[in-house]
Every structure is written in C-alpha cells, then in structure tokens.
Amino acid sequence: MNEYKDIATPSRTKEILKKHGFSFKKSLGQNFLTEPNILRKIAEAGDLSKEDGVIEIGPGIGALTEHLARHAGKVLAFEIDQRLIPVLEDTLSPYDNITVVNEDILKADVVAEAKKVFDEEQPIKVVANLPYYITTPIMMHLLMSPLDITTMVVMMQKEVADRMTAKPSTKAYGSLSIAVQFYMEAKLAFIVPKTAFVPQPNVDSAIIKLEKRETPIVDVIDETFFFELTRASFTQRRKTLWNNLTSHFGKDDQTKQWLEKSLEESDIDPKRRGETLSIAEFGKLSNVLITNKNRYNE
C-alpha cells in the first residue's frame, strides 16, 4: 500500500487541516506528527505483523494509523474528538483494516470493542502517540485492563517516559515507575524532537517500549494493597518511609506497632526514603504488612 501519499508531511498535514477547516483544541492536547520517518520507526518498534491486532489512542488525522494499517492485521483506533471522525474517514479511506471508535479511551468498553474487531486468539498490541495531559491515566487504565496486551509502544512527554523507566535511587523513580514495571519490562526506544510536531509542543517527546512480563516482577498477596503502599511511600518524596507510612495508615499505637514490626521483619530501615526501595523490597514489605495486619489491627 506504499503507493499512497503519507499523511504526515508538513505540506500534506496543512492541506488536510485546511480542507476540513480543522483547528487544534489545546484542551485535548492535540499535536500532530509531521515526520513520516519517525512514524515508520514507531511502527517498526512494535514489531508488527499481519497476525497482530493494534489499538491506537488519539489517531488525530491518521498519520500513525496508516503506518499501523500497513503492517498489522487490524487496527482499532479510539478518537475522542468528533470533528476528526470525517477527517479520518477521508484520510484512511484507502485502508479496509481500520475501525475508528469516537469515544474517550478512559470511558470506552475497550474489551467489548476489541472483541468486535479482533479475532479471538489475535495478539493485541498498543501503539500510540498519547495525549500528554492524560498520559498516566491512560497507561494505568491499559495496564489494569483485563485485555491481554503483549506489547505497548507509546509516545509521551520525555519527563513521563523517564519516570516510567526509572530505577531506584534516581530522581525520576516513583510509584509510577513501580506500577508500570510491575507488569511490563520498560525501555526508552528513542527521543522525538518537538520540531517534528504541528503545533510544536514545549517539550521533547520519547517513545517507550513495554513488553508484558509472563508474571509480575514480584509475587504479592494483594496487588491493590501493594500499589496503595507504593503510592503512600512517595506522598512526600523528601520524607522518610516511616513519616509517609504513618501519615497514610495512621499514628495510633496499634498502627505504629504494626508498621514497626513489619519494617523490622522485612529488613527495611524506617529512616530510608521510598525512592531507595527496590520493587522487590516493596513487594516483601507489602506481603509482611498484609500477613501482620490481623495480628496488630484486631
């Protein structure tokens, strides 16, 4: 299908926007890529084949969508902006393997939509240029989804990408790093300069590649509690683990005894900061806290 003109050249993008009288909505974080080579690299990072089903979020005018359609079996794209639906019908008319759903990905029944489009055993990948203002909620929504997503290749603000791929004892490491790395192996694929977009954002972007682990990185008794614990440990980064945990769980004698004993059994110094703990240490502490909960909170 390479005989079609790429959507993502500055002149073609301008032409499409002019034809449809489209104006950017700042509230939707709309920045369109105008570099076909970068789009090709994104699609390549997904290692797509005709066996794959791909979910895209925020297709815009279809610049990345057409590259996904050329390499994957089927593409399911979620676009929140109704004004872009006729634009996509026009720009993507050469392709018969794309389904566009005019819904907010955070409110859509993604599982039901995927069932309609993909075959039962089809591997599902997510490849998307995420809207910056809701990158984290979208990522968490997909990670917690019952959909079996094997790979994610997503573009986001470089700062958020750094946080998702961060290691312990670094400035960027936090509860988001842990939530992402709990389920997926995350690595930075490449940087995208702000000059590659229309309109130009204020910051550079990064592509990260996430591959699903066969099992979560640590074995925890209660995932919900584990994530509550990690979020609580980073409430105030400069505070000690002890201060953050007592602020979150309570300062009464019973709770303090529960926390103190559990930290001791986990070999974790309460004076440490949350950012120094590895995911394995958080996993161990979470399990000990759960095991001790009934003993100290009767």
Annotated binding site for S-adenosyl-L-methionine: 31, 33, 58, 79, 104, 129
Q: Please return the burial class of 172, using the count of CB atoms within 10 Å of its CB with bins 0-12, 13-18 and 19+.
A: middle
Length of the chain: 298
201 prior amide bond cis, ω within 30: no
The sign of the CA dihedral 77, 200, 26, 17 is negative
Tokens found for residue 136: 């984290």
Per the annotation, binding residues are 31, 33, 58, 79, 104, 129
CA 153/CA 136 separation, integer angstroms: 14
* Residues pairing with 151 in the sheet: 125, 211
What is the rounded distance in angstroms from the CA atom of residue 72 to the CA atom of residue 195? 28
Beta-bridge partners for 77: 56, 100
> At 263, phi and psi to the nearest 5?
-65, -40
Question: Tell me, what DSSP letter sits at residue 152?
Answer: E
Between the alpha carbon of residue 247 and those of residues 56, 234, 265, the distances in Å are 40, 11, 21
Tell the burial category of 150 from Cβ atoms under 10 Å away from its Cβ (0-12, 13-18, 19+).
Answer: middle
